[in-house]
Structure 1
């Protein structure tokens, strides 16, 4: 495989030297990732069934059984190209939605589906394709253990995962811009600089597992899910496979491919024999560069260099992997227009960007935008620190308009799509802001599961109207659909995870005080490894303290030693049956032997 990669790079170098790569034409294409959801907005693993009914080759599988991907045909970035891209997107989404609805389900567009839970990430929900299985096996082996997913925002997420399935929480709208080979360096550098403000304006992934994290949590999730580094190599610097890059490009696309091959191991081996790229070239034909494309598909730069062959003509593209799916097709094409226009104008005005902005500043801007969205402060080419919203409104939207005019996009379309960005930023309502504000407005209403379902169901309604997110009203609990059958709701949807616990050796008087302070009717008992060993009721504590005792009572003297245990995957109906059948005040929820939550009758009341 390494030898084939080296021959592919040599073949590409010769094609660049011989001017064999297509130039003089600018195309825009896209890939749309989406979620399959049930009638209540929860992920449903029916991708195989949907694809079995499908006859459109543009609809293809993704990592999980609750994801799909739509490929859009590239359009020339001129005239009504943006409008044609949106029309194509709307039509193909309608086709995917119709297929899902034949099965009683639907689709949703967002960077991270708020209703995803940990049990949805079980390996049985991985799409049965050798590539995904092999990728999971190799990455897990290289990492030497489970993924430690740790992200801090308003809330904090710290969870251990056994596979790369968490990457299936993400969905993006990946935009491809074809560029001339001799102008690749300034265009790629422009794409790197544009990444942060475009992401700040388009963030749409603030919630994962019910926790409010980064405005674009996809960035952190994808980086950690595909990370092959081990944490015990002292201070050795190693690049993650999902990364922003290490430096500016000075001259050629070859710099990127050589850098990646120098830093990263080959993960996937070809299933069939590879072409000899040099031999194909010497015969007067155009090689596919199969080894390079296979390898490049396992190195996840946020702006990725891509080689392709269309109609016998090889070309180079910049693939923008920064943008999330949603909120609507109109928003997505507006994001693409903002990015493309900004890249075109930056590359024209500032061909030596690498002399004006330190690369680390560009990378820092990107992380700040992912964390804070429009609330980020970004370092710009003038050396000043700008609030992202002000930078976009005062400096970057005028540049993007100029770039699209340079591409001869219809003036009405320039106004239409960039006005969507302008109003979104002016009103400070990205998809991420809308989700966070909706959750704040819903605080204290219904269960956690119902609040998250309200987000998804409201999103879907607006998506089908194709109303840009800046016009959306906040989600309401009224959007939640009551279930005719409760069997598809699980304990993890309703359990309480903010727990007060005690150890069995602690004095009973402390437990009584804790119950009084926090108005608790019961307290779980766990050991030092967070394994549940008992349950203590308020009545049992008060009764024991009221009786005479020769020595101070400890928790172990009074606790119930065989509390009922459930797993997060247990159905709500089973939990309700157990609470009704016994005198239990609560059921303890255990994952891999450790206490992760409790369920009470109050938790089940609205489920």
Structure 2
């Protein structure tokens, strides 16, 4: 959920002080990159899984407080919506059979949480956007109890000065206005973390940006919002619009959105933090008591609280992270591209594929991004969000290519080689990359299964709301089998 804040409202003095403090933190961070030793004993990966809560009719259940009390596990936390929770998976290395063990651990954790949620008549669902969510669910009582969320909502609307406009194209276009950031709560994702040393951060971030399009095309799982069929991964455009601090006039001037793919390849992690400070005004100007200059001079690791808080309110799809654990600083690439679900094995297949391809792309002597424009990478990302696994993308040396051809002929061999370099066991590579291969060959990911099932149910005579609820019931049934989505039966 991000760091909690102390106050829900801020004045001009808070903002002036915060701006000075953020700049000071940025200067100290630049010094640390040049002088300090960052933690990197071994590469660690981490995962956060955002989930939805539904009732017995598969409608949103605004019940995260009693559900979290029943689960009673600090790994589970609130998210923006009262119908959301998040599972934080402890970091671990990739080598050996770790990913297979991770699959068993995550399944056991989620099954235990589901059993405890059931005592409140609630079920946990891993999906990019809850298809049964409707406008009436987001009128009141939708937000989790948190000073941070209330302050964020107020700051975004103070910056805009008007309601948020949601306008999304697709087979059934949707246009509406929202008087809160409630639509953002519909977007639930899987976030993948990779701890890297400063010297190779830029190569890993650039590689992640290159991979974002194919990654999203394979994993799309959010075709419905408010009953409308929109993009294959509607979450991308919905999240962009639901947190937009810009009225139309600032959009016309080219002011950057807070949900941002970026605009250039980088040479250092500092580029990203510096852009965040230069381009984006504060949303949560909370000032700490730390003097980062004094901390660094005393040989201690500064927390850089203001810089980290500011970074947490600029929503890059691949976000830079500075963190301090046990007094030692480290850096991470946080990949925020993928939706949640459909199953644990699907999510881990997505993550293993990502880490494998990333390793090869980032270590290439002539990196792919030197042969590809940043604009092309961004266009691939948007095409993947719109069309999912049916998307066509531009790829250096290949030209325009279908997702299945790109994955099967080019990226899967890279992923296998990258995982070999990570020392991932053959059994783990075969299991999870086999899921990606099956998905590419069948052309069926979560979005395709959802749309096909709803269409079949409606052709059999169901209304759209009833078809969405029945589809979600079947989705949950399949989710608990942990069979990958490409082998799920379609509605008859």
RMSD: 1.4
2:486 pairs with 1:470? yes
Is this contact kept in 1: 2:51–2:124, CA < 8 A? Answer: yes
Of 431, 447, 461 in structure 1, the residue corresponding to residue 477 of structure 2 is 461
Provide the rounded CA distance (Å) in 2 between the counterparts of 1:255 and 1:13: 10
Of 121, 130, 136 in structure 1, the residue corresponding to residue 153 of structure 2 is 136
- 3-state DSSP of counterpart to 2:246: coil
Provide the rounded CA distance (Å) in 2 between the counterparts of 1:254 and 1:95: 41
- 3-state DSSP of counterpart to 2:337: coil
2:146 pairs with 1:124? no
What is the TM-score with the length of structure 1 in the denominator? Answer: 0.76
Change (3 A) 1:120 1:330: same
CA deviation after TM superposition for structure 1 residue 355, in Å = 2.0
Is this contact kept in 2: 1:24–1:180, CA < 8 A? Answer: no
User: Cα deviation per residue 1:92-122 (whole Å; 9 max; x = unaligned)?
Assistant: 2123212210101111110001000001112
Is this contact kept in 1: 2:390–2:443, CA < 8 A? Answer: no
User: Cα deviation per residue 1:43-65 (whole Å; 9 max; x = unaligned)?
Assistant: 11011111233421111001111
2:419 pairs with 1:436? no
Change (3 A) 1:233 1:417: closer
Change (3 A) 1:431 1:340: same
Is this contact kept in 2: 1:7–1:276, CA < 8 A? Answer: no
Of 394, 401, 418 in structure 2, the residue corresponding to residue 379 of structure 1 is 394
Provide the rounded CA distance (Å) in 1 between the counterparts of 2:98 and 2:256: 37
CA deviation after TM superposition for structure 1 residue 365, in Å = 0.5
CA deviation after TM superposition for structure 1 residue 87, in Å = 2.4
Is this contact kept in 2: 1:277–1:287, CA < 8 A? Answer: yes
CA deviation after TM superposition for structure 1 residue 23, in Å = 2.8
Is this contact kept in 2: 1:204–1:432, CA < 8 A? Answer: yes
Of 83, 106, 111 in structure 2, the residue corresponding to residue 66 of structure 1 is 83
Change (3 A) 1:417 1:233: closer
Q: What's the counterpart of residue 240 of structure 2?
A: 223
Of 60, 78, 86 in structure 1, the residue corresponding to residue 103 of structure 2 is 86
CA deviation after TM superposition for structure 1 residue 183, in Å = 0.5
Higher relative contact order (CA 8 A, sep 6+): 2
Is this contact kept in 1: 2:220–2:388, CA < 8 A? Answer: yes
Of 165, 172, 184 in structure 2, the residue corresponding to residue 155 of structure 1 is 172
What is the TM-score with the length of structure 2 in the denominator? Answer: 0.94
Is this contact kept in 1: 2:168–2:174, CA < 8 A? Answer: yes
Of 38, 60, 80 in structure 2, the residue corresponding to residue 43 of structure 1 is 60
Provide the rounded CA distance (Å) in 2 between the counterparts of 1:466 and 1:29: 21
CA deviation after TM superposition for structure 1 residue 132, in Å = 0.5
Is this contact kept in 1: 2:453–2:490, CA < 8 A? Answer: yes
Q: What's the counterpart of residue 32 of structure 2?
A: 15
Q: What's the counterpart of residue 168 of structure 1?
A: 185
Of 339, 354, 358 in structure 1, the residue corresponding to residue 373 of structure 2 is 358
Q: What's the counterpart of residue 214 of structure 1?
A: 231
User: Cα deviation per residue 1:384-438 (whole Å; 9 max; x = unaligned)?
Assistant: 1111111011100110111010110011101100110100110111000001111
- 3-state DSSP of counterpart to 1:124: coil
Of 443, 463, 466 in structure 2, the residue corresponding to residue 447 of structure 1 is 463
CA deviation after TM superposition for structure 1 residue 353, in Å = 3.6
Of 244, 250, 273 in structure 2, the residue corresponding to residue 257 of structure 1 is 273
Q: What's the counterpart of residue 597 of structure 1?
A: none
1:12-411 equivalence runs, <5 A? 12-233=29-250, 235-250=252-267, 252-270=268-286, 273-350=288-365, 352-382=367-397, 384-411=399-426
CA deviation after TM superposition for structure 1 residue 475, in Å = 4.1
- 3-state DSSP of counterpart to 1:323: strand
Is this contact kept in 2: 1:274–1:290, CA < 8 A? Answer: no
Whose radius of gyration is greater, 1 or 2?
1
Change (3 A) 1:359 1:298: same
Aligned length: 474
